[in-house]
Amino acid sequence: MNFNDNLLRAIRGEPIRAIWFMRQAGRYLSEYKKLREKYNIFEMIKNPEISAYITKLPVDKLNVDGAILFSDITIIFEPMGIDFEIVENKGPVIRKVLNEDDIRNLIIIEPFESLDFVYKTIKILKSELNVPLIGFSAGPFTLAVYLIEGTRSKDFLKIKEFMLKNSTLFDLLMEKLTINIYKFLEFQIKAGVDIIQIFDSWVGCLSPNIFKLFILKHIKNLVSKLKQYNIPIIYFSLNTYSILHILNELDVDVISIDWRIDIGKAREILKDKAIQGNLDPAILLADFEIIKKETMEILKSINYKHIFNLGHGILPNTPFINVKKLVDFVKEVKI
Ligand code: 1CP
């Protein structure tokens, strides 16, 4: 079995095309839907055989250049002592949002003890995969949003009010979350993942100045500690055109952008960083002629250090055939 290292080579800047998708192991796959009739998401994540099977599905079926561990950003909540559930069509819901005491007493996790199933899943995958395995965590702000808002938010007003009124306590929360995220990512690296992606989905709700004042140092701290392991780091967020120049300061290898940014413009701002993205996931609901046209727009706008991906995860109602045809198209088309 030849190892396909296109993704690692594209990140390094070699003239090669690489493609994978966020949420490539999800509801648009019939095999996934079948399993979900029997198990809930945490039963699947906590079962290393099932989790490894789902992780491999898109690699086998689509021939993508990377596998992303089937897990969730909330998987560290249980060992942190957070009471929560994943609600259908809504996502994570925290049963009791954190107060000052909860933040001061937040548990620092020991992943080798509490998240053994993740270790086992990674070990299975490393022996069976022929593409790089992407491990991941959320960024500290994105976890803080769930812990303070209670659930995904439209306006992020609770977290903003909290951080502005209790900035010292917010800083402590960010520090503790950053330690936990670091420990979780270090643990995945030790288990064998080849690439790390930090999903900081919600930082784009902040102004550039607030992002700089309240968030940036924690991400920098996380990244600088991870750097010792010498594996590529991808930083993903949404709605970040206005802070892209600040993200360029991060010592990460890849910045993942959404579709609201022209990728050619992002190339100018992000200088020599690799860029991941940025097809709108909704495009995959359209006819293939439109998918092809929008994909060509992207490929024509960026010709080095590019990893083809969507700007966010694959939508559950995406026709599988469209995803399959897109992978083949990106792999074959000459510009
Ligand atoms: O089948 C189901 O009902 C479960 C749906 C589901 C799935 C498939 C959840 C609940 N999580 C996951 C897996 C998951 N989550 C992966 C697996 C690997 C892959 O990409 O194929 C990854 C990388 C995530 C990451 C994740 N979870 C993020 C960051 C990326 C993003 O979407 O912005 C976030 C914010 C979450 C929280 C979460 N967990 C589940 C849902 C539906 C959500 C999102 C809810 C929200 O928008 O707030």
Residue 120 exposed, middle or buried by CB count within 10 Å (0-12, 13-18, 19+): middle
Residue 206, both tokens: 């902040």
Q: In whole angstroms, how large is the CA radius of gyration of the chain?
A: 19
Rounded average pLDDT over 9-18: 96
Residue owning the nearest CA to atom 14 of ligand 1? 72
CA–CA dist 102, 155 (Å, integer): 24
Asked if 254 contacts 278 with a C-beta cutoff of 8 angstroms, the reply is: no
Is 23's pLDDT higher than 90?
Answer: yes
Q: Which residue has the tokens 């701290």?
A: 221
Task: Name the residue among 62, 23, 13 with its Cα closest to residue 306.
Answer: 13
pLDDT at residue 89, rounded to an integer: 87
Residue 230 region, left (φ>0) first, then alpha (ψ -120 to 50), else beta? left
Rounded average pLDDT over 238-242: 97
Residue owning the nearest CA to atom 39 of ligand 1? 91
Is 144's pLDDT higher than 80?
Answer: yes
Contacts of 321 (CB under 8 A, 6+ apart): none
> Is there an atom of ligand 1 within 6 Å of 26 CB?
yes
Query: What confidence tens digit (pLDDT) does each residue in 54-78 have?
Result: 999 999 999 999 999 999 999 999 9
Residue owning the nearest CA to atom 22 of ligand 1? 72
- The one-character DSSP state at 214 is I
CA–CA dist 137, 274 (Å, integer): 20
Residue 195, both tokens: 């690439």
> Is there an atom of ligand 1 within 6 Å of 92 CB?
yes
> How many CB atoms are closer than 10 A to CB 142?
21
- Render the burial of 283-318: b for 16+ CB within 10 Å, e for the rest: bbeeeeeebbebbeebbeebeebbbbbbbbbbeeeb
pTM: 0.97
List the domains of the chain with CATH numbers: 6-332 (3.20.20.210)
Query: What confidence tens digit (pLDDT) does each residue in 167-214 have?
Result: 999 999 999 999 999 999 999 999 999 999 999 999 999 999 999 999
Residue owning the nearest CA to atom 28 of ligand 1? 73
pLDDT confidence of 18, banded at 50, 70, 90?
A: very high
Greatest CA separation for the chain:
58
pLDDT at residue 320, rounded to an integer: 98
> Is there an atom of ligand 1 within 6 Å of 319 CB?
no
Residue 227, both tokens: 């750097």
> How many CB atoms are closer than 10 A to CB 83?
9
